[in-house]
Amino acid sequence: MQPSVYRRTPIPRNYWGVAGLGYTLNIEPMVAKLHTLILVASLSLPSPQATSKEHETALAMQKVRTAKTVYFDDQTRTRSKAGDNASAELKKWNRYKIVDDRTKADLILLFSLHKYEGGYEVHPGGPTGATNIHGQCQEGMATDYVQTEPAQAGFLTAIDPKTGDALWSDSHQWGGLLTGFDSVGIRLVKKFKKQVK
């Protein structure tokens, strides 16, 4: 019997052979490159959490940009003119109609000495303000006394009056001799303007 031209030679595990041609191809380096490519591609994709957070921020800023009326709530309760200066800067900007009734505002700008933690409620014909830990509504966000110690920072928060959610917030160190003792409100309104544009 004559030997066959085609011999069956065992092909190693990581090789791919072209039948009848006698060629074999090592596919291991290609598989490794493919795995690396898939890993790099999966790491470069944004995570669902990041995409969700960006989407929430975009929706919040859309609400801020489409608002027509704003209620400015100065809760700093200090002897400085920072709240008056912030209100004047907001009026000078002339983007929003400033209203005196919180229930008629599309947006509430809360100027305070503390970071907003939520709970701002607007009730037509009833009390307006924050809820305490027992779920009772309190008038305003701060106590009724005038603060006498120096403030550390001012906070400006744009609040959706329907939900009480903070749509935008920022803080700034309270001014001093060089920057102006009452400049914190103006600086926060200017930060807000940059975000809204």
The overall pTM is greater than 0.75: no
Q: What is the pLDDT of residues 153-162, one digit of tens each?
A: 889 999 999 8
Which of 31-35, 86-90, 112-116 has the largest mean confidence? 86-90
Q: What is the pLDDT of residues 46-58, one digit of tens each?
A: 666 656 788 888 8
Q: DSSP characters for the chain?
A: -PPPSS---PPPTTEEEETTTTEEEE-HHHHHHHHHHHHHHHHHSPPHHHHHHHHHHHHHHHHHHH--EEEEEE---BSSSHHHHHHHHHHHH-SSEE-S-GGG-SEEEEEESS---S--B--TTS--EEE-TTS-EEEBSS-SSPB-SPP-EEEEEEE-TTT--EEEEEEEEPP-TTT-TT-HHHHHHHHHHHHH-
Residue 188 is predicted with a pLDDT of 92
Per-residue confidence band for 127, with pLDDT thresholds at 50, 70 and 90: very low
pLDDT at 14 over 60: no
pLDDT at 133 over 50: no
Residue 25 is predicted with a pLDDT of 55
Per-residue confidence band for 94, with pLDDT thresholds at 50, 70 and 90: very high
More confident call, 133 vs 54: 54
Q: Residues in the chain, how many?
A: 197
Q: What is the pLDDT of residues 56-74, one digit of tens each?
A: 888 889 999 999 999 999 9
Cα torsion 111, 115, 118, 119: sign: negative
pLDDT at 30 over 80: no
Of 19-23, 34-38, 121-125, 148-152, the range with the lowest mean pLDDT is 19-23
List, in order of start, the domains of the chain with CATH numbers: 1-45 (no CATH), 50-196 (3.30.160)
Per-residue confidence band for 147, with pLDDT thresholds at 50, 70 and 90: very low
Looking at every residue in the chain, the average pLDDT score rounds to 75
